């Protein structure tokens, strides 16, 4: 049995040696696993730390937005100036100018739609360099204002402009005061700012009106300025705030320069870069005051017509009759145009024009009387009564200036035309008396 016992002891010794070896192997394996786990954890922490640092690092914006303001041009429809929104994409290497003031003279029924106030304009996306070259060739001033928009605001504005410039979205109903190239730019900027531009400009005014801005901008073309002044009704004489006055591109540029981009107080467009100097006559800050010049001219014409028309010389009376024919026809034609603009068009700024009290369509009925006066015939009782009725209506236009319901700024036209109407009524009455004396003689 001993041999057997010796074999069992040997087996036990071998088993204990094997167990110790396995324990060493397991311990070494555990150490390796722990070491690898700690290394992996450190690597993961380092990777997450790098990712967090990368996410916290500021990302340079790829889009920059600016307001481009073009000065007045030499052609009458360029007198108000122009503006556009420029979108620069650093990643794409592009600079696009979005212009809202595009129209086409060759469009079907363009003149008819213009007369009826149904003009359609559109927005187009042009290469900025092409636009700048064109405006420089025209000698127009060019200013650019980088806008302090947040990256998300810039992206949203760029997306909106891109959508708006698609052919199916590009066209819009034009109005020279409320929906033009500048108001559309203003609205797009205000949309990107969440209404902040409107909130900062609504209710703040420098006392200007649509008429005042329109006349000062058209002052370099005096005759066209006078025609526009005659055609504008009382709508153009209400006081407007800076939001409404932003229909003028230069005014919108000033508004942007004074507005804040957000709650942090950053100015929206404080920097103005002059890209080109204007070689076109700049409009004045205010239109000319025509009241005293027109009063002097009206009184002088009235006295001259009254004196010449009551002379016994047929030549002098004939010259007055010739002037009266032209004057009465012009008044009648002007009155018919004003009636058409009021009753048959969508030119809201021309509705209810008080110059109808001066440019009376009934003047057309006086033309036969003046043709007769040109031949030396006496005027009829109807013609004389009508002439004095026209004077009474024009006199009411003067008296209405003290009434709150007649707010149109047309006093200069009243003091010009009323003395002429009065003088011509006196001349027609004198033609009756001279005709009676001639019959008796």
Concatenate the DSSP letters of all residues of 92-131 into one string: TTEEEEEEEEE--TTSTTHHHHHHHT--EEEEEEEEHHHH
| 77 or 350, which is more confident | 350
Instruction: Say which DSSP state 142 is in.
Output: E
Does position 58 have pLDDT exceeding 60, yes or no? no
Asked which of 20, 36, 57 is the last residue of a domain, the reply is 57
CA dist., res. 295 & res. 74, Å (int):
31
318 and 261 fall within a common domain: no
As given in the structure block, the two tokens for residue 418 are 């009323």
What is the domain extent for residue 10? 1-57
In degrees to the nearest 10, what's the CA dihedral of 212, 214, 220, 222?
Answer: -80
pLDDT of residue 47: 46
Q: Is the pLDDT of residue 159 over 70?
A: yes
Give domain status of residue 72, yes or no: yes
Two tokens at 410? Answer: 């047309």
Do 149 and 215 lie in one domain? The reply is yes
What b/e sequence results for 306-333 when a residue is b if at least 16 CB atoms lie within 10 Å of its CB, and e otherwise? bebbbeeeeeebbbbbebbbebbeebbe
Closest residue by Cα to residue 127 from 89, 94, 153: 94
Q: Is the pLDDT of residue 307 over 60?
A: yes
Mean pLDDT over the full length of the chain: 86
In a domain, 386, yes or no: yes
Report residue 32's pLDDT band, with 50, 70 and 90 as the boundaries. Answer: very low
pLDDT of residue 14: 43
Helix axes 222-231, 210-218, angle to 10 degrees: 160
How many whole angstroms separate alpha carbon 255 and alpha carbon 270? Answer: 10
Count of structural domains within the chain: 3
CB 61 within 8 A of CB 146: no
Query: Which of 318 and 106 is assigned the larger pLDDT?
Result: 318
Mean of pLDDT values over 161-187: 96
Helix (H) and strand (E) counts in the chain: 15, 7
What mean pLDDT do residues 277-291 have? Answer: 94
163: domain CATH number?
3.90.1720.10
- pLDDT score at 433: 52
Residue 198 located in a structural domain: yes
- The pLDDT of residue 21: 45
* pLDDT, tens digit (0-9, with 9 covering 90-100), for 92-130: 999 999 999 898 887 888 888 888 999 999 999 999 999
- What does the pLDDT look like over 233-272, one tens digit per residue? 999 999 999 999 999 999 999 999 999 987 667 899 989 9
State whether 266 and 164 are in the same domain: yes
Asked whether the whole model's pTM tops 0.85, one would answer no
The verdict on 69 and 52 lying in the same domain is no
Position 262 scores a pLDDT of 72
pLDDT at position 33 is 37
The length of the chain in residues reads 441
Please check whether residue 284 lies inside any domain of the structure. no
N- to C-terminal Cα separation, the chain = 187
Of 252, 276, 300, the residue at which a domain comes to its end is: 276
Same domain, yes or no: 152 and 298: no
Per-residue pLDDT, averaged over 331-339, amounts to 98
438 pLDDT exceeds 80? no
DSSP 267-290: BSS---EEEE---SPPPPSS----
């Amino acid at each position: 049995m001993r041999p057997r016992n010796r074999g069992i002891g040997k087996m036990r010794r071998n088993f204990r040696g094997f167990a110790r070896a396995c324990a060493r192997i397991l311990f070494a394996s555990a150490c390796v696993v722990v070491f690898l786990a700690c290394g992996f954890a450190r690597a993961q922490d380092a990777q997450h730390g790098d990712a967090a640092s990368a996410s916290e690092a500021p990302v340079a914006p790829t889009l920059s937005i600016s307001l481009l303001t073009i000065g007045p041009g030499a052609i009458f429809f360029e007198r108000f100036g122009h503006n556009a929104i420029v979108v620069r994409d650093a990643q794409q290497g592009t600079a696009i100018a979005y212009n809202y003031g595009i129209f086409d003279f060759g469009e079907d029924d363009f003149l008819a739609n213009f007369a009826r106030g149904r003009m359609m304009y559109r927005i187009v996306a042009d290469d900025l360099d092409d636009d700048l070259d064109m405006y420089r060739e025209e000698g127009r001033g060019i200013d650019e204002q980088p806008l302090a928009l947040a990256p998300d605001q810039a992206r949203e504005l760029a997306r909106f402009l891109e959508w708006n410039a698609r052919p199916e979205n590009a066209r819009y109903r034009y109005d020279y005061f409320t929906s033009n190239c500048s108001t559309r730019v203003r609205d797009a900027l205000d949309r990107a700012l969440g209404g902040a531009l409107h909130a900062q400009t609504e209710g703040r005014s420098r006392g200007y009106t649509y008429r005042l801005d329109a006349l000062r901008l058209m002052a370099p073309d005096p005759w066209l300025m006078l025609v526009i002044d005659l055609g504008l009704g009382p709508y153009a004489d209400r006081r407007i705030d800076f939001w409404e006055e932003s229909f003028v591109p230069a005014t919108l540029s000033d508004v942007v320069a004074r507005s804040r981009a957000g709650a942090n107080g950053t100015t929206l467009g404080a920097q103005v870069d002059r890209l080109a100097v204007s070689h076109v006559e700049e409009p004045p800050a205010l239109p000319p005051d025509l009241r005293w010049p027109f009063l002097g001219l009206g009184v002088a014409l009235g006295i001259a017509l009254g004196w010449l028309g009551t002379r016994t010389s047929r030549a002098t009376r004939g010259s007055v009759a010739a002037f009266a024919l032209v004057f009465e026809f012009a008044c009648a034609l002007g009155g018919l145009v004003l009636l058409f603009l009021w009753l048959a068009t969508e030119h809201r700024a021309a509705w209810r024009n008080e110059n109808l009290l001066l440019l009376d369509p009934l003047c057309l009925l006086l033309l036969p009387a003046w043709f007769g006066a040109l031949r030396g015939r006496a005027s009829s009782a109807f013609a004389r009564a009508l002439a004095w009725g026209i004077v009474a209506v024009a006199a009411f236009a003067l008296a209405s200036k003290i009434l709150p319901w007649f707010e149109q700024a047309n006093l200069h036209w009243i003091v010009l035309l009323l003395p002429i109407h009065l003088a011509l009524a006196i001349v027609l009455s004198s033609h009756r008396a001279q005709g009676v004396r001639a019959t008796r003689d």
